[in-house]
Amino acid sequence: MTEPSDRDADYELNQAALDYHSKPRPGKISVEVTKPTETARDLSLAYTPGVAEPVRRIAENPEEAYRYTAKGNLVAVITDGTAVLGLGRVGSLAGKPVMEGKGVLFKHFADIDVFDIEVQAETPQEFIDTVRRIAPTFGGINLEDIAAPHCFEIEQALIDQLDIPVFHDDQHGTAIIIAAGLLNALELQGKTLEAAQIVILGAGAAGIAAARLLIAMGASRNKILLVDRKGVIHTGREDLNPYKFSVAAETGRRTLEDAMEGADVFIGVSGPDLVTKAMLASMAERPVVFALSNPVPEIRPEVACEVRDDMIMATGRSDYPNQVNNVLGFPFIFRGALDVRASRINEAMQIAAAHALKDLAREPVPESVLRAYGATEIAYGPGYILPKPLDPRLREVVPPAVARAALESGVARGEWPEHYPRR
C-alpha cells in the first residue's frame, strides 16, 4: 500500500474547499431580516407606509441614518481583484470568495455585517469614483486585495473624500499585527524597537505600511532597510515611485545579503524561500525573524532552526508557532471605530490596537483557548508572542482601546459605549 502523496493531499483539500463553498447552498454569507415580519402590520412598518417617517427624519438630519438603518454596523469589503491572495490579478469576480470570507470573519469575530462588492475598474480613479458614490450605504469601508502602488492612492483619496473609516487591511492590518508581535519578541530578546536594525523584504502594501507604523511607534528611520526585487531601496535609486521613495534609506548597502548582515529583525512580506541559511547566520545575536510569505515562508522554520537556536520566529501559517494573522486586528478595529462612529481609522487608533494585542499576549491564557487549540499550556514566551485568533478576550480589549484612541484623537462623533468597560 503506497503512502498518500502531497498531490493527493492537495486534491483532497481543494475538493473539500469547493464542496464547502458550493454545498448545500452556494457562497458563505447571506442577508438576514432583523425585525418581525409575521403580520400585515409588521409588513406595513417594514415597508410602506412605515418607512416614510424614518425617511423624513434622515432627510432632515443624515446622522439619523445611524439610528434608523443598519448603516452603523455595516461594512463594505471592496476589491478590484488586482492582488487576490497569492494569485495576483485574477479579476474582481474571481476575488468574490475571498471577499465573502472576509465577511465571515467580520461577522463571526465582531458581529459586523458585510456587503462584499467586486468592482470592475480600469483605473484607480474609476475605482475611487465607484466607492465614493456607494459610500453613504455603509458605516465603514474595508479595501481588500488591491495591488500596490495604486492601493496607496486609492485609500488616501477615499480617506480624504469620505466621512467614514476607510481601511486597507493588506496595508495597516498586517502592519498592526507585525508591530504587536515585534514589540513582544524584541522584549523577550532583550532588545528595543528604538535600537533595532530592521530589514523588510517586500516593498508593497504591507511592507511600506509596516515601515511607516514602526517608525511612528519609535523605530529609528535610519535603521530600517526595505528591499524589493531590485535590492535595497536607497535614496540613490532613480526607479522609485513616491511611496517607495518615502521609505528610502541613505545607505551603502545594496543587496538583501548586505542588508541582513548584523540585522536584529527580519520581516518578510514577499515570496517563498528568498532567505538563505547564510543570510540568517549573518544576523545579529538573538534575532527576530518574521517570515510571513504564505503558504511558503521566506525561510522555513525547520530550515531556520538548523542555523539559529537563539531566534524568535513567526510566520503567516497556522501550523507553526506565532502566526501573524490579520484576523487579530481588522474585525476588532472596525468594531471599536463603528461603536464611537469614528470618521476614520487614524494612526493613533492603529497604535492603540497594536499595544492592546501586545499586552493581551502577556496575560494568562484562559482554559477555553487551551481547549480550542488542544493545548495543555500556552504562555507568553518565544513560542507565544501574539494572542490566538479564537481568544474571546480580543473582543473585550481591542475595540475599547481603538474607541478610546478615536475619542482622544478627535475623530469620534459618538460617546463612550455603555457596554464598554469604564474609561
Give the residue numbers marked as catalytic: 47, 102
Q: What is the phi/psi pair of residue 285, to 5°?
A: -60, 150
* Nearest Cα residue to 205 out of 259, 247, 253, 161: 247
Cβ proximity of 404 and 199 under 8 Å: no
Q: How far apart, in Å, are the Cα atoms of 271 and each of 33, 86, 122, 160, 179?
A: 43, 9, 27, 33, 20
Q: How far apart, in Å, are the Cα atoms of 324 and each of 134, 248, 387, 404?
A: 32, 25, 10, 25
User: Can you tell me the distance from the alpha carbon of 380 to that of 389, in angstroms, rounded to the nearest whole number?
Assistant: 15
Cell numbers linked to 17: 474547499
- Largest Cα span, the chain: 76
Q: What is the phi/psi pair of residue 13, to 5°?
A: -65, -45
Give the three-state DSSP class for 74.
strand
Cβ proximity of 202 and 266 under 8 Å: no
Residue 79 bridge partners (DSSP): 118
* Nearest Cα residue to 400 out of 343, 358, 338, 347: 338
- Residue 13's CB is within 10 A of a number of other CB atoms, namely 10
Give the three-state DSSP class for 383.
coil
User: Can you tell me the distance from the alpha carbon of 325 to that of 281, in angstroms, rounded to the nearest whole number?
Assistant: 27
**CA dihedral for 219, 222, 224, 228, sign (positive or negative):** positive
Phi-psi domain of 412 (left: phi exceeds 0; alpha: psi -120 through 50; beta: other) = beta
Continuous segment of H or E residues that includes residue 166 = strand 166-168
Phi-psi domain of 89 (left: phi exceeds 0; alpha: psi -120 through 50; beta: other) = beta
User: Can you tell me the distance from the alpha carbon of 205 to that of 180, in angstroms, rounded to the nearest whole number?
Assistant: 18
User: Can you tell me the distance from the alpha carbon of 308 to that of 353, in angstroms, rounded to the nearest whole number?
Assistant: 31
